[in-house]
Amino acid sequence: MIKTGLLDPEHSVPFVIEYDSTNGRPEPGWLTSWYQDNLEFVDQKLIEHGAILFRGFDIHTPAAFARLTRSIAPGLLDCLDDNGPRTKITSGIYTSTEYPAEYQLSMHSEYAYSHKFPTRLYFCCVVEPGKGGETPLADNRKILKALDPGVVEEFRARRIKYLRNLHGGNGFGLSWQATFQTTDKPAVEAYCRDMRIDYEWKADGGLRLENTFESIITHPRTGEEVWFNQAPQFHPSDYPSDIYQSLLNSFRNREDELPQTSLFGDNTPIDIAKLKHIRDTMFRQATVSPWRQGDVVMLDNVLVCHGRMPFSGPRKILLAMTDH
């Protein structure tokens, strides 16, 4: 009833599990039943490849995606403390990052800037992109090996500090109310303490956040080292050059006052050329393939990073996350 293999023989990501269309359309719930009957196989392939594409199972509505994820991944997470805009569809189900369509979203591991990050992500294509809009996938193990060794050792030794300045309701970037989905300051403070985020309420009503983490971590199950940080994406040089320069001008070159940026753990700036090297290396490792309506991608958030290509026309990709 299914076909398996690699989507691209030159890339190990993703592994494909596809319904054999010669059998007609699958019955509702067919993938859930098959998944539960083949847990060991799915788990093995996820660890081996880092991502699995389920294709041809007719999961093409938010309701169908919600039923699937809640049955195979109970305890879906809320998208709190997000660094990009997205829309909540229903409990645990969100749109993917709503970044302007004309720009590329660079490769990243979800919530790598957080003390607690999801271990698995689930994406679903509800509306197939008109043109472009692919979600590149790359193995963080291979990225680590492909990066310049000197860059790797510098990032390993100096760690990464993530700095955010969230406005109080009027300003560039995200507000703290939207980021934490509340107007309750004590609740935000409790969250920050739990997540080891240093916070400071600003005189203008905004909120300054700082936290520092490793650049390279060890996968809890495989014991392999992986490249795992969001320094390149967090840094404003990730924006197109004209937007980056406009931001610097707006904040009078005070990078510590930008809506968000990344620094080394000792508060020294990161060389922009090194950030470009990292972005380019990550993307060179990526598999970039078109979405088909009904596609579901499950990925190990530590083993595999993802991005988004520019697009035109319609596109609707949903996201669900779990920590187990």
Neighbours of 158 (CB within 10 A): 16
Kindly state the tokens that stand for 222: 């495989």
Q: How many domains does the chain have?
A: 2
DSSP structure string for 247-269: HHHHTTT-GGGSSEEEEETTSPP
Same domain for 199 and 215, yes or no, is yes
pLDDT of residue 200: 97
CA-based max dimension of the chain? 65
Please report the pLDDT score of residue 324 as a whole number: 78
Q: Is 106 part of a structural domain of the chain?
A: no
User: Residue 120: is its pLDDT beyond 80?
Assistant: yes
SS3 141: helix
Q: Are residues 85 and 169 in the same domain?
A: no
The three-state secondary structure class of 295 is coil
Question: Residue 109 falls within a domain, yes or no?
Answer: no
The CATH number assigned to the domain holding 6 equals 3.60.130.10
Same domain for 88 and 218, yes or no, is: no
- Over range 33-40, report the average pLDDT: 96
pLDDT band of 274, cuts 50, 70, 90: very high
Both 49 and 73 in one domain: the answer is yes
Q: Which residue in this structure is represented by tokens 């290396």?
A: 281
Considering the domain architecture, whether residues 270 and 297 belong to the same structural domain is answered as: no
Give the C-alpha separation, 249 to 89, whole Å. 37
- pLDDT score recorded for residue 13: 96
The three-class DSSP label of residue 144 is: helix
Average pLDDT of 15-38?
93
213 found inside a domain: yes
Same domain, 145 and 222: yes
Please choose, from the candidates 279, 177, 262, the residue with its C-alpha nearest in 3D space to the C-alpha of residue 211. Answer: 262
If asked whether residues 46 and 150 sit together in one domain, one would say no
**Residue ranges in the chain assigned as alpha helix (H):** 30-37, 39-49, 62-72, 140-146, 149-158, 176-180, 185-194, 231-234, 241-250, 272-284
Dihedral Cα 174, 179, 181, 187, nearest 10 deg: -120
Q: Which of 66, 94, 64 is nearest to 78 (CA)?
A: 94
- Domain containing 226: what range? 141-281
Helix, strand or coil, per DSSP, at residue 238? helix
Confidence bin at 69 (pLDDT 50/70/90): very high
At residue 248 the predicted structure's pLDDT band, cuts being 50, 70 and 90, is confident
Q: Residue 114: how many CB atoms within 10 A of its CB?
A: 19
- Distance between CA 206 and CA 168 in Å, rounded? 4
- Phi, psi (deg, nearest 5) at residue 320: -135, 150
Query: pTM for the full model?
Result: 0.94
DSSP string, 30-47: HHHHHHHHTHHHHHHHHH
Percent of the chain with pLDDT over 70: 100
Assess whether 197 and 257 both reside in one domain: yes
Task: Tell me how far apart the alpha carbons of residues 212 and 159 are, in angstroms, rounded to a whole number.
Answer: 7
55 in Cβ contact with 19 (< 8 Å)? yes
Name the average pLDDT for the chain.
Answer: 94
Structural domain contains residue 15: yes
84 with 132, same domain?
A: yes
Tens of pLDDT, residue by residue over 155-194, are 999 999 999 999 999 888 889 999 999 999 999 999 999 9
The answer to whether residues 122 and 296 touch, using CB atoms and an 8 Å cutoff, is yes
Read off the pLDDT of each residue in 201-215 and give the average, rounded to a whole number: 96
- In this structure, the answer to whether residues 205 and 300 fall within a common structural domain is no
Whether 263 is in a domain gets the answer: yes
Residue 108 domain flag: no
Report the DSSP pairing between strands 51-55 and 15-19.
parallel
Per-residue pLDDT for 202 more than 90? yes
Question: For residue 111, is it within any domain?
Answer: no
For residue 202, give the amino acid letter: K
Indicate whether 49 and 152 sit together in one domain.
Answer: no
Bridge partners of 16, per DSSP, are 5, 53
**pLDDT tens per residue across span 139-162:** 999 999 999 999 999 999 999 999
pLDDT 10s digits, 80-106: 887 777 899 999 999 998 889 999 999
Ranges 13-22, 23-32, 55-64, 279-288: which has the least confidence:
23-32
Looking at the structure, do residues 164 and 207 belong to the same domain, yes or no?
yes
- pLDDT value, residue 21: 87
Q: Let me know if residue 66 belongs to a domain.
A: yes
